[in-house]
Amino acid sequence: MAERIRESKRALAERVTDTFLANHPDWVARYGPRTRRFGIEDACFHFDFLAAAVEAGSIAAFADYACWATRILIHRGLPAEALEENLGQVGRAAAQLDESFSSWIESCTRAAATACRQSTMGRLPTASNESQLKSLQRLFAEAIRGGNRTAATNLVLQAIRDGHRLADIYVDVVQESLYEIGRLWEENKITVADEHMATAVAQFVIAQIYPLIEPLPQSRGRMVITGVEGEQHQIGANIVADFLELHGWSVRFLGVNTPHSGVMRAVDEHQATVVGISATMLFSLPRVVDLTLDLRQAFPNRIRILLGGAAVRIAPSIAQDIGADAWAHDLRSALETADRLIRI
């Protein structure tokens, strides 16, 4: 059912938008000639998140989305009451695809309508920070999986406005969503193209977050973070670099596919005490070995070497085997381990 919604969403979104505008002819006069296009885009988002709720079997997930979408409309000065009507139209259109799901989807849209009204009246129940971020993570993962840059960015910016810490957003939303995308690819539920699209959207969102970082005084240490030659996966190392900078490290991020000579030069120029080496693919591990040995030879007593990335999580023993000082399995672990290494 979820796939049928995704496959039909464009046609359904056009139909739903035309119905909504027929009920509200003043909207075109009020908001201009782009009203229908924006309406179709928004309806596509609604169908994407309804499909995610169906896939997860979670009525609460769609209610979470309704809460978020209501806040977005309020911040844009749009009448949030219209969202309840629009989501109802979306639910009815989706239910027609498969009558066996109609009762469940009706329950889903009723929960969303209640969430819209409660959000508009400021009577949403208070949830823990952890549960709010879990809801946000579900929505963010679906947004990046669907290639929805606007929705993914707005989710994160709204979370920041709601008072969530950037560090928690990096760890509990962005990182966890990327892990989920990786699991879906491993389970052959999405294609390589889907995985690359989701990663590109997450990278775009990170670029929007970075200017908002107000780092602590750079007193913790100096670090170079890099991928090895031949490695093409940048986003994990990018997030680690931002996260450490947020916590007071002076970080020089070199990206991926960096020649070893360039890494050496950056370590020397930056006077780094820790070098973080990222590897996503197992075939990159021989290059990790080579770079580690080169660093040991060039800076025999000055630096500590920290490994990370999916390939290292698969083969964690490599850190000890090749003489690296430690490995980190996630963002918080990277911060804790880097802090520990400079105290050794």
Q: What is the pLDDT of residue 324?
A: 93
pLDDT, one tens digit per residue, over 298-322 is: 998 889 999 998 888 888 888 888 8
* Cross-sheet strand order for the sheet of 326-327: 249-253, 221-227, 274-278, 304-308, 326-327
- Please give, one letter per residue, the 3-state secondary structure of 70-114: HHHHHHCCCCCHHHHHHHHHHHHHHHCCCHHHHHHHHHHHHHHHH
Q: Which residue has the tokens 């959000």?
A: 119
Hey, what amino acid is at 294? D
pLDDT, one tens digit per residue, over 255-276 is: 888 899 999 999 999 999 999 9
Domains of the chain, with CATH numbers?
1-125 (1.10.490), 126-212 (1.10.1240.10), 215-341 (3.40.50.280)
* 47 Cβ contact list (under 8 Å, min separation 6): 5, 6, 8, 9, 12, 13, 90, 94
State the chain's maximal CA–CA distance in angstroms: 73
- Average pLDDT on 119-123 reads 58
| Residue 337 contacts residue 268 (beta carbons within 8 Å) | no
| Residue 241 contacts residue 272 (beta carbons within 8 Å) | no
* 139 Cβ contact list (under 8 Å, min separation 6): 49, 52, 61, 64, 65, 68, 151, 155
Mean pLDDT for the chain? 86
- Provide the pairing of β-strand 326-327 with 274-278: unpaired
**SS3 category, 322:** helix
Hey, what amino acid is at 306? L
- Provide the pairing of β-strand 274-278 with 221-227: parallel
pLDDT confidence band for 123 (50 / 70 / 90): very low
